[in-house]
Structures are given as structure tokens and as C-alpha cells.
């Protein structure tokens, strides 16, 4: 085990009694203003492709029309009483994690620059992240390893896992991590404490991104047009006619997925086998987050923005090549790789930034004692 280096000579535990600094001149921490985003509303064509069964697209039934963006109904988790949530951002090129209090904002129209509470150095470059309580797990694809980082104690444990661990997610209640071993073409199950591999499922392709939905694990496969679903060790494939890259599952069980090098954004209903094309407005959809209001947000990697789909379509400029994004309460934290900034968005408006280093990638949320 190794200890992290903090940018301040105090531990995160001591910092729990403080708030993040607001460094913009003449500003102070304040509640966020209400923002009317109706001016950004857009609508676009919705294309529904009916399927004759759950795995193969229909060759004949295609309906097109106009309408409002596809809506979803899911919520983000809130920190329980006595605990507080922080954002963790992967600084991939700098081989470290930045811990940020995303709740702080500035009064007036000036954006805050938020100083990270803590910077934790890792032995390898962190890529994708998942937070579990006060612990964050980071994959190191090029090194074939994963790190377990407790942000309150400062302990970092790194273990060799698979051939090329790319994505990682967690199943609440089972103490199990799930890892997409891309080069190994396997879904791995890990003990969340020891990082030992306890189970594995062979896949017909290279797994890239994972999304859990009850007892099912949904997976995108590099270079293939299917979505894979794993239940009790069995693998089922669903043809999409696209090239799925990243995905997220809404509360209704529908699968939102982006496609490699494409402006197409699709929503797949595994119950009915229908595929719905979301309205246009994203030049290169990348990664996803879902707000407590049920709106689905996607990073527009080619357009330098994030786009929210709900009753209205809202685009927010955040900077070049945004990657992962995640909600802390009602604040959306975006890892903007090109500018090296973690950008905080609330009510459709940028409210704060944290200057880190170029090459940001994953975002996770941790909960620590207040």
C-alpha cells in the first residue's frame, strides 16, 4: 500500500470541516441561481425501428416523425444524513485523482474556480472510475491493473487484474466489482476488498463499457453492432445496426447508447425490442449521466458541450473534448479533457470550474462522513 500526496498538508478527514475555496476575485460561496433554459429548447426527428424479436432488427417496419425528445424517469442518489458527497476526477496523463467539492458556487454571474480538496497520486494512469462509499476504484488499462483508493484513510492498493481492464462498475449489496477486461474478452467479478477475481464470463467480443440493471449487466463490444447482456453467467446478444460505444440504463430499463465516430444516439428497449433514435443535436455523443429529474445527459465529444434530453433539449458549452460526467446531488461534474478542467453545471449553466491537467477522463462520486 502507498500513501497519496495532498496538495495541502492536511488529510481529507480534516478538510471535512471546511468548504472548497472560491478563488475568483470578489466572489463568495452562495446558493445557485435559478436558470431558465427554455431558450435552448430544440426538437428533432424521432425514428422508431420495430423489431420482430429481441435480437434481430425488422427489415420492413420503420416509422419517422417529429416530436419532443425521448424522456426517462430515473434519479441520482443523494448522500444519506451525516455524509457528504465529493467528485473524483481521473487526471489520466498526470497519474492522479482530484477530489473536488462540487457543491460550492459563486454569487453573481462570475464562475468560481474551485481548488481540489486533495490530489492523490497513483502508480499508473487512471482511466474509468467507480465510487463505493468512501472508496474509489480506478482502472489502468495499459498496465493491466486496478487501484482501490480510500479517500479518507489515504490507502492505495493496486492489483493486476485481467489483460486490459477498461471499465469498472459495482453491484450494491453484493460487495462485488465488475470489470470489462477488453483484451481478455471477459467480464470479471472481483472482491471489492481484496481485488481478487472471483468469477469470469467469456464474451464474444472485447467489452468496453458496462451498465448494471438489476441482475443483468449490459456491455458494449468493440467493433461489433450488438449490445451484450449477461445474466447468471449467460450471454445474450442484441443486434443494433450501429456500433455501440458507451451506454447507460434508465430507470425504466431502456438502454441509451452512443456509437463510435457517429452523431447517432439510440435508445433500445430490451422488453419490446424497439430501437428509438433520439433527436439530433449531438455531433459526437460519448458518455452519459442521468439526473434525478430523469433527464439523460451526454457529453458531445466533438462539439465541446454536454447535451441534456428531457422535456427540452439543452446544450451547455463546457470546453473541448468532454469525456465522462456524473451528478453530485443536482450538480453535473464534467471531465473536460482538452482544457484540463472539471466543469460544474447546474440548472443548465456552468457555475464553477476546477483547473486540473489536460487528459481528464473518468468521474466518480464518493461519500464520506460529514
Q: Could you give the number of structural domains in the chain?
A: 1
Indicate which CATH number applies to the domain containing 226: 2.130.10.10
Give domain status of residue 10, yes or no: no
Helix (H, G, I), strand (E, B) or coil at 54: coil
Picking from 268, 285, 288, the residue whose alpha carbon sits closest to that of residue 276 is 268
**HSE (side-chain half, CA atoms, 13 Å) at 286:** 21
Q: Contact 5/120 with Cβ under 8 angstroms?
A: yes
Q: Which residue range forms the structural domain that includes residue 208?
A: 48-71+81-280+359-369
pLDDT mean values, one per 10 residues, the chain (370 residues): 35 42 34 31 29 27 25 46 91 97 73 91 98 97 98 94 97 86 98 96 98 93 96 94 93 89 89 82 91 92 92 93 96 97 94 96 93
For residue 37, the model assigns a pLDDT of 31
For 289, the 3-state DSSP assignment is strand
Residue 15 DSSP one-character state: H
Residue 277: the pLDDT is 82
Residue 19 covered by a domain: no
Q: Is residue 24 part of a domain?
A: no
Q: Does residue 205 sit within a domain?
A: yes
Closest to 118 measured CA to CA, from 10, 251, 243: 10
DSSP summary character for residue 12: H
Say what the pLDDT of residue 218 is. 97
Q: What's the pLDDT score for residue 241?
A: 87
Q: What confidence score (pLDDT) does residue 298 get?
A: 96
Q: Is residue 25 part of a domain?
A: no
In a domain, 38, yes or no: no
Let me know if residue 18 belongs to a domain. Answer: no
> For residue 264, what pLDDT is reported?
85
What pLDDT, on the 0 to 100 scale, is given for residue 48?
Answer: 28
Amino acid at each position: 500500500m502507498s500513501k497519496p500526496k495532498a496538495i495541502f498538508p492536511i488529510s481529507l478527514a480534516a478538510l471535512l470541516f471546511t468548504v472548497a475555496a472560491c478563488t475568483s476575485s470578489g466572489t463568495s460561496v452562495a446558493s445557485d441561481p435559478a436558470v431558465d433554459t427554455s431558450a435552448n429548447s430544440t426538437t428533432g426527428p424521432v425514428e422508431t425501428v420495430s423489431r420482430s424479436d429481441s435480437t434481430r432488427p425488422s427489415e420492413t417496419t420503420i416509422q419517422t416523425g417529429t416530436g419532443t425528445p425521448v424522456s426517462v424517469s430515473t434519479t441520482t442518489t443523494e448522500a444519506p444524513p451525516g455524509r457528504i458527497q465529493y467528485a473524483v476526477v481521473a487526471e489520466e496523463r498526470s497519474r492522479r485523482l482530484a477530489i473536488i467539492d462540487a457543491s460550492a458556487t459563486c454569487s453573481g454571474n462570475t464562475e468560481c474556480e474551485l481548488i481540489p480538496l486533495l490530489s492523490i497520486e497513483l502508480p499508473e494512469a487512471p482511466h474509468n472510475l467507480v465510487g463505493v462509499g468512501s472508496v474509489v476504484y480506478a482502472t489502468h488499462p495499459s498496465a493491466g491493473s486496478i487501484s482501490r483508493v480510500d479517500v479518507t484513510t489515504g490507502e492505495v492498493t493496486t492489483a493486476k487484474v485481467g489483460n486490459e481492464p477498461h471499465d469498472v462498475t459495482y453491484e450494491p449489496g453484493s460487495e462485488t466489482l465488475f470489470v470489462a477486461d477488453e483484451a481478455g474478452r471477459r467480464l470479471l467479478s472481483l472482491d471489492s476488498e481484496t481485488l481478487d477475481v472471483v468469477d469470469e464470463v467469456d464474451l464474444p467480443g472485447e467489452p468496453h463499457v458496462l451498465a448494471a440493471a438489476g441482475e443483468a449487466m449490459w456491455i458494449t463490444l468493440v467493433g461489433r453492432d450488438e449490445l451484450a447482456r449477461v445474466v447468471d453467467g449467460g450471454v445474450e446478444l442484441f443486434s443494433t445496426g450501429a456500433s455501440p460505444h458507451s451506454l447507460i440504463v434508465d430507470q425504466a430499463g431502456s438502454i441509451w447508447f452512443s456509437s463510435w465516430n457517429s452523431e447517432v444516439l439510440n435508445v433500445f428497449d430490451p422488453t419490446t425490442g424497439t430501437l428509438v433514435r433520439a433527436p439530433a443535436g449531438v455531433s459526437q455523443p460519448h458518455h452519459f449521466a442521468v439526473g434525478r429529474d430523469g433527464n439523460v445527459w451526454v457529453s458531445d465529444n466533438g462539439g465541446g458541450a454536454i447535451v441534456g434530453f428531457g422535456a427540452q433539449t439543452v446544450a451547455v458549452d463546457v470546453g473541448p473534448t468532454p469525456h465522462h460526467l456524473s451528478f453530485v446531488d443536482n450538480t453535473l461534474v464534467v471531465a473536460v479533457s482538452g482544457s484540463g478542467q472539471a466543469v460544474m453545471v447546474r440548472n443548465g449553466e456552468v457555475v464553477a470550474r476546477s483547473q486540473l491537467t489536460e487528459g481528464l477522463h473518468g468521474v466518480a462520486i464518493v461519500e464520506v462522513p460529514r
